[in-house]
A and B are shown apart, each in its own frame.
Chain A
C-alpha cells in the first residue's frame, strides 16, 4: 500500500490541475446533455454525465492502484505492456467493432473500449525503456531504426483502422527524441515540410517558390563567407521547389475529398457554413457567444440548442467557451498547459533517463492533443477527430490519459528510491 512518506512526495500540483480538468470537463458534459424538462440526478447512470461521473470515479481508482504499484513494475514490464498494446490493436482486425467507419473498438455488451488510447502508454513505456538502454545512441542509424519501429508499429495499425487522427498523435514522440539527442534537422525538415505544404495550398505554388528564391538570396548574402553555401542553398532550393510542385499532386490525388475540404475550410478557401464547414462554424459561433464571462452554466443558447455536433466528445471545448466565456477559456488553457509544463518540469528533475523520457512523452502527448483539438474547435486547424484529454466524454480516453499521467506521477513520487 501507499506509505505515508510517499504521500508527501506526490506532486499535488499536477493532481490539482488534473482534478480541475476532470471537474471542468464533467460540468460541461452535463450542460451539453442538459434538458430542463427532465431534471435527473447528477449521477444518473442512464445519462451521459452520470456515466462520465462513473468513469471519473474509476479513473481515481485506477490512479490509486497505480500509486500503490511499485514504480519499478512499469520499467520492468514496459516491453510486455507494449507487446500487449500491439496485440490488442492487431486483435481489432478480426474482433473489433466498427463505429462510423473505423474499426477501433472492442465491444463487451453495450460497453466499448478503444485500445488505441491505451497504445500510447505502451509505446511511451517501450520508447523510454529503449532510449534509456545503455547501448542506445540516437545518433546511430540502427538505434533510430528501432525507435522508428517502436513508434511506427502501433501508429500504422491505428492508421489502418482507419483512425488517422489518433495515429497522428504518435508524432508527439519526436519531442522526447529530440530532447534525448535526435538531430534537430529532422524536426526542422518536418516543420519545413508542413509549413511549405500549408503555404503552397494557401498562396499557390508560384508565389511560394518565388518567396523561397528571395529567401535563399537573403540567406546567401548573410552566409556567403561559408564554404559550399551556394551549392547547399541551390540544392535546398531545388528540393523545396520540387516538393512544392508535388504538393498539389498529393493534395488532389492522394488526399481524399473530406481531407481537402477540411484544409480548404481552415484556409478560408471555401466558405460553407452549412455542409462541410458546419461543425467549425457552429463551434466558433458558440465560443464567440461566450464574450467575457460566458452565458452561464446550462445557459448557452448554442450549447442548449445542440448546434455543435459531437459537442460532448471532440467539441466539448465549444460548450466551455460559450458558457464560461473568455475568462473560463483562459482558466482552462492555463490549467491544461500548466499541467503539460509541470510534467515537463518534473521530467527534467528525474534521475533516471527512463522516467525522464516517459514524462516527456506524457507531456508531449497531452500537448499534441490540446494543439490539434483546440485548434480545430477554434477554427485554426483542419478538422481532426481526436478527444480533448480529461474533458471529452468517454471512458477509454479518460482512463488512458489518467493512467498515462499517474504512471509518471508514481515514477516521480519514487524518484529518490533508487
Chain B
C-alpha cells in the first residue's frame, strides 16, 4: 500500500483531469461559441438588394447608397467638436444629445449618430473621418423608387423586428428585410448574401488583424433581380383613374395568369417608406383607419360579387344540363317565389329572354330560376348547394388562390353545412338561398378572385394561378404552381353562349355606352348592395359598382375585375374604368377620352363622407 498510494493518486487525478478536459473541449460546445463571441469580431458587408423591373423591362426599384455616422462611445477620444459638427451639419447640442443617448444605450456597441447621409455629404466627410476616433461610417443600401405607383405590389423594406430575429438567425439587428408585397414574398432572392469578415480581437476589444488570415471571410453577393408581370404604365393609369375613389382593379393576362395590374385605392407613393422618413410616414398611413391606404383592396377586400356572378351560375346550369342556351324564362319586374309570395326585384326589360340576352340585361328573374334549377336538380338542397359549390371552387372562389403575394382572403362560397348551421331544423330549401343567384346573399369574393374567374371564362374553361413575378435573375418562373393549367369543372362548349351574353352586355346591354371602337369586349356589370354599422345600427350604403371584362373576345389578352366602393351601379364607375384599362393595355393610348374625362373629374369622396358625417343621408343618388 505504501508503495502504491502515490501511483494510484497520480493515475486517478490524470483520469479526472482528462475527463474534465474532454468535457470542456469535446462534449460541451458552448465554450467554443463563447470564444467566438469573445475574441472574434464579425463585420458584415451588406449586399445590394436585387432590382425590380416591370414586364417591359422598365426599372421600378433600384438601390441608393446611404451612410450612417456611427459611434462606439468607449472608443471615443477627445476631438474638435466644432469642426466635426460643421462637417456633419448639426449643432453642438444635437451632437451632445446623440452621444449621451449612445452612452445610455451601450458604451461598447455601435450607435447611429447621424443617419443616412447622402453621397455628397459622405464624400466630404470621408477624408476627415480618421481624425475622429470612435466614429465610423456604416454603409447601407436603401431602396430607390423609380415609380410613384404600385406601392401595394412592391411592398417595402424595414429593419428586421425582434420576432424575426429570434426565429431566423440569418438576420442581425439593424438588417433590412422585405415587409410586404414582392419585397417580402421574394425576400430570399432579393436580399442577396451578406458578406462577412472576421477580425481577431484582443481583450481590450481592439482588432488586431484578420481572424484565421481571412480564411472564413466571404464576399457579399448582390441580390437577384426580379422582373414583374405588372405593366407599370397600366398600373399607373389604373391608379390615376381610381383617384378619389376606393376599391381595386385586378388585371390578368388569361393565357399565363400573369398579373398586369393590381391597383388598390387609395394608395401611396412607395418612396414615402424609404429611409429617415419611413417611420413617421408609416405611422401616418397606418393610423388612417378610414381610407386605409395600406390595405390592399385588390387582394383583401371581400365584396359581394353581384351580377358578374350570374355568368358562373349560367355556366353551372349549362354543365348540369338544367337549362339550354336558348331556353327562355319570363320576368315580371322580378321573380315571385315561395308560399308567401316573396319577390326578387328586377328592372324593366323585354321578357322572356334566353341566356345571352338575359346576361346582357342582367335579368334577376332569369338567374333566380336558373339557380333554383341547379340546386333543385339534386335530391336535397344540401346536395344541390354542395354540387354548386364544387363548380365554383374550381374557379378559385371560396379559397386562397395561391398567388405569390403575402396577402389574401378566402372570400366565401357557402356550403350545405353553413346553411345547416344557420337553420338547425335543416328545413331550408333552394329558394332560401336564392340571393346567391345574383351574387348577393352569402357569397363573397375578392377582386383578384373575380378577375381570375373572368380569366377562366376568357380561356373557356381554365386558368393559371395568378402571379406577379415573371422572371427571377433572368429565368422565367418554372414553378408548376404557376405553369400548370387549372381546369374548371365546366366543359369548354358551354362557355360560348355565356361569352356571347357578355359580349351583348356591350352591344345591347347594360354597358352599351362603354364600347371601345374596334375592340370586342366581353363584360358583365355588377351592382352590390352593402351595409355598414353606424352607432350599432345596420345601415345600407350606396351600392358598390362592379365590373368584370375581358378582351378581345376571341383572343383574350386581358381579363380584369374592377370594384369601386359605393359607385352606385356597375357601368357607372367600374364599367368606365374597365373600358379605359382595356383600351390602355391593348392600344397604349385612349380614344374614348370623354369617358376618361368623366372618370377623372368625378370623385366619390362626398359619398364616403356621408356615413361619417353623423347626419342622416340618402343613398343611391
A residues touching B (Cβ–Cβ < 8 Å)?
A: 36-37, 175, 178-179, 181, 187, 282, 284-292, 299, 301-302, 304-307, 321-322, 325-326, 329-330, 333-334, 337, 340-341, 344, 348, 360, 363-364, 367, 370-371, 374-375, 378-380
Contact = CB atoms under 8 A, between A and B. Distances in A.
Interface stretch (B163-171, B207-215, B281-289, B517-525): B207-215
A287 B203 contact: no
The 9 closest A-B pairs by CB, nearest first: A288-B31, A301-B39, A289-B35, A305-B39, A326-B25, A288-B24, A305-B202, A337-B14, A329-B21
B5 interface: yes
A59 B201 CA distance: 36
Nearest to B28: A288
B422 interface: no
B209 A37 contact: yes
Contacts of B7: 341, 344
A364 B32 CA distance: 34
Nearest to A290: B25
- What is the interface of chain B mostly: helix, strand, loop, or mixed? helix
Contacts of A292: 25-26
B21 A321 contact: yes
Contact of A178 (B5, B21, B22, B201): B5
B347 interface: no
B31 A178 contact: no
B13 A304 contact: no
Nearest to B205: A305
Contacts of A287: 21, 24-25, 31
Interface in B206-234: 208-209, 211-212
Interface in B15-53: 16-18, 20-22, 24-26, 28-32, 34-36, 38-40
A415 B28 CA distance: 49
B211 A301 contact: yes
Contacts of A321: 21, 24-25
Contacts of B18: 329-330, 333
B26 A305 contact: no
Given A304-B208, A305-B201, A333-B18, A288 B38 contact: no
A380 B18 CA distance: 12
B6 interface: yes
B342 interface: no
B39 A307 contact: yes
Contacts of A290: 25
B24 to A, nearest CB: 5
B545 to A, nearest CB: 68
A288 B3 contact: no
A326 B28 CA distance: 12
B11 interface: yes
Nearest to A332: B21
Contacts of B35: 285-286, 288-289, 301-302, 322
Contact of A375 (B17, B24, B40): B17
A289 B7 CA distance: 31
Given A305-B201, A305-B203, A364 B6 contact: yes
B436 interface: no
Contact of B17 (A175, A307, A341, A374): A374
B200 interface: yes
B537 interface: no
* A contact patch SS: helix
Interface in B299-323: none
Contact of B10 (A178, A301, A337): A337
B24 A378 contact: yes
Interface residues of B, number: 38
Contacts of A360: 6
Nearest to B36: A301
Contacts of B26: 291-292, 326
A261 to B, nearest CB: 20
Given A286-B35, A288-B35, A360-B6, A305 B20 contact: no
B2 interface: yes
B6 A299 contact: no
Given A285-B35, A333-B18, A348 B3 contact: yes
Interface of B: 2-3, 5-7, 9-11, 13-14, 16-18, 20-22, 24-26, 28-32, 34-36, 38-40, 200-203, 208-209, 211-212
Contacts of A284: 24, 31
Contacts of B3: 179, 348
A55 B9 CA distance: 32
Contacts of A301: 35-36, 38-40, 200, 211
A284 B25 CA distance: 9
Contacts of B39: 301-302, 304-305, 307
Contact of B34 (A36, A179, A285, A363): A285
Contact of A367 (B10, B202, B209): B10
Contacts of A282: 38, 203
Contact of A305 (B14, B21, B200): B200
B513 to A, nearest CB: 78
Contacts of A285: 31, 34-35, 38
| From A288, A291, A333, residue with most partner B Cβ within 10 Å | A288
A341 B4 CA distance: 11
A299 B200 CA distance: 10
B28 A363 contact: no
Contact of A341 (B10, B25, B34): B10
Contacts of B34: 285, 288-289
A305 B208 contact: yes
Contacts of A367: 6, 9-10, 13
B22 A326 contact: yes
A170 B139 CA distance: 62
A379 B26 CA distance: 16
B17 A288 contact: no
B25 to A, nearest CB: 4
User: Which of A36, A299, A325, A326 has the most B CB atoms < 10 Å from its CB?
Assistant: A326
A226 B532 CA distance: 99
Contact of B20 (A289, A371, A378): A378
Contacts of A330: 18, 21
Contacts of B203: 282, 305-307
B212 A307 contact: no
B390 to A, nearest CB: 61
B90 to A, nearest CB: 35
B37 to A, nearest CB: 9
A348 B28 CA distance: 41
Contacts of A370: 13
A23 B126 CA distance: 50
Given A36-B209, A333-B18, A304 B200 contact: yes
Contacts of A364: 6
A372 B22 CA distance: 19
Nearest to A305: B39
A378 B201 CA distance: 23
A333 B39 CA distance: 27
B78 to A, nearest CB: 27
A375 B35 CA distance: 20
A285 to B, nearest CB: 5
B207 to A, nearest CB: 10
Contacts of A175: 5-6
A378 B21 CA distance: 7
A282 B39 CA distance: 10
24 contacts: A175-B6, A179-B3, A179-B6, A284-B24, A285-B31, A285-B34, A285-B38, A287-B24, A288-B28, A288-B32, A289-B31, A289-B36, A291-B29, A301-B35, A304-B208, A305-B39, A305-B203, A306-B202, A307-B203, A344-B6, A360-B6, A374-B17, A378-B17, A379-B20
A375 B201 CA distance: 27
Given A326-B26, A360-B6, A378-B17, A302 B38 contact: yes
B36 to A, nearest CB: 7
A10 B191 CA distance: 70
Nearest to A375: B17
Contacts of A344: 6-7, 10
